[in-house]
Chain A
Amino acid sequence: MNEHPSLWLDAYLDGELPVGKALIVEAHLAECADCRALLAQRRDVMRLLQEAEPANGLKPAGRFVAEVELHLSRPRLPERRKPMLSLLWQFAPLALILAWVFVMAVSIAGTVLAFFPDPIQALAGSLPALQESSHLAVLFDSGWGRLALEGIDFLGPFNILDWSWLTSLAARAGIGFLYLGWLASWLASHNQHTIIEGE
């Protein structure tokens, strides 16, 4: 080997070189006085380094441990998977938005239909095409369709078609409040993760 294995010398000295490479280095050292001198110098450096004292004047172990304990909060346990809850949590804002849109739509439709004495007939009558040929007209006139629509009356205060503008407003405000609550908890959770990852 003609080239000096300078980079390998430290690994050789530390016993970290594979056997094959160690044999190559040994063969080279037998012939190269410069590398033998370099190796001796490395040994001296290591000897000097070992003379350096460890940290002095440290706190007693008990005090050190007690100070660490003061800063210990509860550790984060491994997260257990809760797929259903997690899924519901992810879809909560979408569901709330849809509910809000639904209440809005029903509120607007209810306001419009309030102008007509018989909303079902008015709806069917306003759509001649439906009245003539569509199955919807048949549905409106059929006993089952009428029963389904009139059955809403049994819902009492939960009958969304009978809500006043104030009830509708309160419902929308409630949904908005729930959405803001979800948003606030999501932001709090997101910030906590960011702080921990940034440590």
Chain B
Amino acid sequence: MNLVAEAIETSESVLVACASHGDREAFSELVYRYRTGVINVVYRLCGDADLAEDAAQTAFVRAWQHLAGYQTRASFRNWLYRIAVNAALDLLRRQKPAVAIEDLHLAVPGDGLETRQEARERREVVRQAVLALPEASRAVLVLREYEGLTYQEIAAVLDIPAGTVMSRLSYARQRLAELLRPYLEMV
């Protein structure tokens, strides 16, 4: 009996149960489902797509190795994100220090109609500004803004109180508002 053939149309929990009993195909299906989300979480945290893919693969391998420790009460996606955030932070610690806010030279937006080039530059500036945030605040911001997690889910992923999520998110947005002031006036 092919477990994957049956599980493919059923819920995530069935796939997780199969994977935790050694079914690689079930786990591959989970990797397929969550690949984009995990890569993007790592990418938003570290800012490099190639490194993000490597770290995401590391995160999936760790998840496979620790499936026995996964508690089905928690969301599998959030559990994966937790591993992915840790993989990204490990990566950042091995890499050179993140962009310092003092070193961030933001281009002043031009007047008149925005060209495609200017829009691209603006996206790059936003990306740099996010990378200039402290890791702790950046992780909260990424999980909220790009993955749409609730405060409680972020608290569970990062293992911090919900109040800390609120304060870190407030700090991150405030800091971004200061860094991106010229662009905010254009919005």
Contact A55 to B40, CB < 8 A, known contacts A41-B184, A47-B187: yes
Identify the closest chain B residue to A59 (Cβ). Answer: B53
Among B19, B39, B119, chain A packs the most CB atoms within 10 A around the CB of B39
Chain B residues closer than 8 Å to A74, beta-carbon distance? 22
Q: Does B173 contact A (CB under 8 A)?
A: yes
Q: CB of A118 within 8 A of chain B?
A: no
On chain B, the residues within 8 Å of A7 by CB distance are 166-167, 170
B-contact bits for A53-74, CB 8 A (1 contact / 0 none):
1111111010011011101111
A64 to B67, CA, bound (A): 20
Q: Are B67 and A75 in contact (CB under 8 A)?
A: yes
> Secondary structure at chain B's binding surface: helix, strand, loop or mixed?
helix
Docked pose: A55 CA to B65 CA in angstroms: 26
Expressed in whole angstroms, the Cα–Cα distance for A64 and B54 within the complex equals 9
Among B64, B130, B141, B146, point to the contact of A72 (Cβ < 8 A).
B64
User: In the assembly, what is the distance between CA of A79 and CA of B69, in Å?
Assistant: 10
A99 to B167 CA separation, bound complex (whole angstroms) = 64
| A31 interface residue (CB < 8 Å to B) | no
Query: Of A54, A78, A79, A199, which one neighbours B43 at CB under 8 angstroms?
Result: A54
B61 touching A72, Cβ below 8 Å: yes
- Interface residues in B, total, Cβ within 8 A: 51
| Total A-B residue contacts, Cβ distance less than 8 Å | 121
Within 8 Å by CB of A55, from B52, B66, B130, lies B52
Q: Check if B122 is an interface residue, CB within 8 A of chain A.
A: yes
CA separation between A69 and B28, bound complex, in Å? 7
Taking the closest CB of chain A, its distance from the CB of B94, in whole angstroms, is 14
- Contact indicator A49/B130 (Cβ below 8 Å): yes
A1-15 contacts to B (CB < 8 Å) = 6-7, 9-11, 14
Contact pattern, B 79-122, Cβ under 8 Å of A = 1, otherwise 0: 00000000000000000000000000000000000000001001
Interface residues of A (CB under 8 A from B): 6-7, 9-11, 14, 16, 41-42, 44-59, 61, 64-65, 67-69, 71-79, 196, 199
- Which B positions have Cβ atoms within 8 angstroms of A? 19-22, 24, 27-28, 31-32, 35-36, 39-40, 43-44, 49, 52-53, 56-57, 60-62, 64-68, 119, 122-123, 126-127, 130, 141, 144-146, 150-151, 166-167, 169-170, 173, 176-177, 180, 183-184, 187
